[in-house]
Amino acid sequence: MKVLVVEDDRKVAGFIEMGLKEEGHVVDVASDGEEASMMAHVYQYDIILLDVMLPKKNGFQVAMELRRKGQSTPIIMLTSRDAVEDVVRGLDAGADDYLSKPFQFEELLARMRALCRRGGAERMEMLRFGGIAMDRLRHAATVGEQPLDLTT
């Protein structure tokens, strides 16, 4: 998947970016809300991981702006704000899911997969060309019925 990580804490952003890349994802990082809005409009992402507390424009504002402009890319808000009011505000702003920090990386990956299974991702999970099929979520490919060995 192509993922936009929006996080102003360089350490947290680096951790998420490294983990996602190790899982085979393509990752872009934005460090403030304005940069995130611009990148989400210019590039096509399968999912956006969006912090709430950001400089220039907060995550609630970014999510509302993207939805107002017709952007349907799934958004998972990642934030240390875990009060029920914040969760409700994030979901009402347009987030598809809300994950409180600190979180287990495996849980983040599972939530990303779940959102894509629901059909929220703009790109197809399975790519096909001739007799070749590639499953983007499982990082697997086949030629006909025979599995292909993929290396990283």
- What pLDDT does residue 33 have? 95
17 near 40, Cβ under 8 Å? no
* The pair of three-digit structure tokens given for residue 101, joined into one six-digit string: 């920090």
CATH architecture of 2-121: 3-Layer(aba) Sandwich (3.40)
Cα 69–Cα 71–Cα 76 angle in degrees, nearest 5: 125
Q: Mean pLDDT, consecutive 10-residue segments, the chain of 152 residues?
A: 94 96 94 96 93 95 94 92 88 94 93 80 62 77 85 66
Residue ranges per domain, the chain?
A: 2-121, 124-152
Q: Which pTM value belongs to this model?
A: 0.78
Q: How far apart are CA 116 and CA 25, in angstroms?
A: 14
Residue 11 burial (CB count, 10 A) = 8
- Strand 97-100 to 126-129 pairing: unpaired
